[in-house]
Amino acid sequence: MQRQLEIAAELTARLGGGEGFHHVHWRSQLELALDCFVCERTGRTTVLELGAERALCSGSTSSGFPSHYTAARIAAFDVTSGDDRLALRAVVSFWWAPFTDARTGLRGAAPTLQPWVRLHLAYNCPDEDAKDPHPFTTQTNAIRPTSESCTHCTRPVATSTRAPTIRLMD
């Protein structure tokens, strides 16, 4: 059956330009814990990229099932900003079927019993000539508040005070 999850996150960052402005932006990749009916393992890290029609499941090398493609994709990816706030809302659509994990005996669930997401961001330092943005991440299991500082000028770039949320839709 097809299921959908909504992921929401918010960061504080200097967005209006001026001193300290680092052009913080969400990147189009995310990692999400899903129970995979293909390799029949629970809590697999699944890598999703905006625009891709399938995702990559981390698989289970201990069970002889290496990473593999799975039926999941980013169905929506909405970014909003204002008042030094940068927000993301993503919808992940995935296929799921009941199974029992052969190694742990746990029943697969949608969403997984321990939901987790890692979101990718980047920034450009105004004091640096480099064209490539500096990547960083935020995720549900980080201790809050958490801050990111520029690797070039050491000014604060973004702060996360609340963990991203994961909500099953339907």
pLDDT at res. 19? 66
Model-level pTM? 0.90
- pLDDT tens digits for range 97-153: 999 998 899 999 998 999 999 999 999 988 888 788 999 999 999 999 999 999 988
Tell me the domain boundaries of the chain: 2-169
SS (H, E, C) 125-161: CCCCCCCCCEEEEEECCCCCCEEEECCCCCCEEEEEC
**Cα–Cα distance, 57 to 70 (Å, whole number):** 6
Ranges 11-15, 140-144, 155-159, 163-167: which has the least confidence: 11-15
